[in-house]
A and B are shown apart, each in its own frame.
Chain A
Amino acid sequence: MAERRTIERPLSPHLQIYRMTLTMAMSIVHRVTGAALYFGTLLLVWWLIAVSSSATQFDIVSAFFASWVGQLVLFGYTWALLHHMLGGIRHFIWDTGRGFNPQEREFLAMATIVGSIVLTLLVWTFGYMLKG
């Protein structure tokens, strides 16, 4: 029943011949945001070490995060986190065997994009409102 034998399987065509679809782009973005979050952990370590070191070090890191470059990085990092988080929830839904038909896939993809942007804006709005 399960003897090993070579089967002539069709080979995948090269990636370039595919038309980019939304779900395909989302898969790529999930991986890219994951990689960005990976290296972005350096920012967290920098911040924690600065807090643990001295008020001077804390002021340096705070000044960076308050600068426009720092704000841009943090804004992007917030979005990457929330996008990856919603993408993960999408994977949990798929893990249950649901959400695989074309309309559902497109809906989940759009929900992830819109949801990540809305949540990022909400987090930042709260951040500015609560700013001490």
Chain B
Amino acid sequence: MKTPLGRVRGLGTAHSGTEHFWLQRLTAVANLPLLIGFLIVIVALVGRSHAAVISTLTNPFVAILILSALISVVMHMRIGMQVIIEDYVHSEGRKILLLMANTFFSLGIGLAAAYALLKINFGL
């Protein structure tokens, strides 16, 4: 005999409950306005000179918008790709390696983009 409370304790077989689902939705909600804003910035920069692009990217609102988008996007893309890997890669070893590669790629993208953006803002 197991009570309903006993069944939900420990957050199920993965021990993470609905955390993955929740993080996917949370970052999706954040991505929506942030990426619409980012898209507007990009469209406004089409065909502009190097100096003009730098002047836009050093605007505090634009820089903070892009940094925020980076954080949300990196989390979203990492757990999204994680689901794809878990769905299609069944060999345990390859799966673990790909999941690690997924984390490294996502963090690498985020850090490289953030580094470049911070350099544009503070280091030129």
Contact = CB atoms under 8 A, between A and B. Distances in A.
Interface of A: 1-3, 31, 34-35, 37-38, 41-42, 44-45, 48-49, 51-52, 55, 58-59, 66, 78, 81, 85, 88-89, 91-92, 95, 123, 126-128, 130-132
Contact of B43 (A1, A42, A89, A130): A130
Interface of B: 1-2, 4, 7, 25, 28-29, 31-32, 35, 39, 43-44, 46-50, 52-54, 57, 73, 77, 80-81, 84, 109, 112-113, 115-117, 119-120, 123-124
B90 to A, nearest CB: 16
B116 A49 contact: yes
Q: Is the interface of B mostly helix, strand, loop or mixed?
A: helix
B46 A2 contact: no
Contacts of B112: 45, 48-49
Given A34-B84, A51-B116, 9 more contacts: A2-B1, A45-B116, A48-B116, A51-B53, A58-B50, A78-B39, A127-B46, A132-B49, A132-B52
6 contacts: A48-B113, A49-B112, A52-B124, A123-B39, A130-B46, A131-B47
A126 B50 contact: no
Nearest to B48: A132
Nearest to B43: A127
A55 B77 contact: no
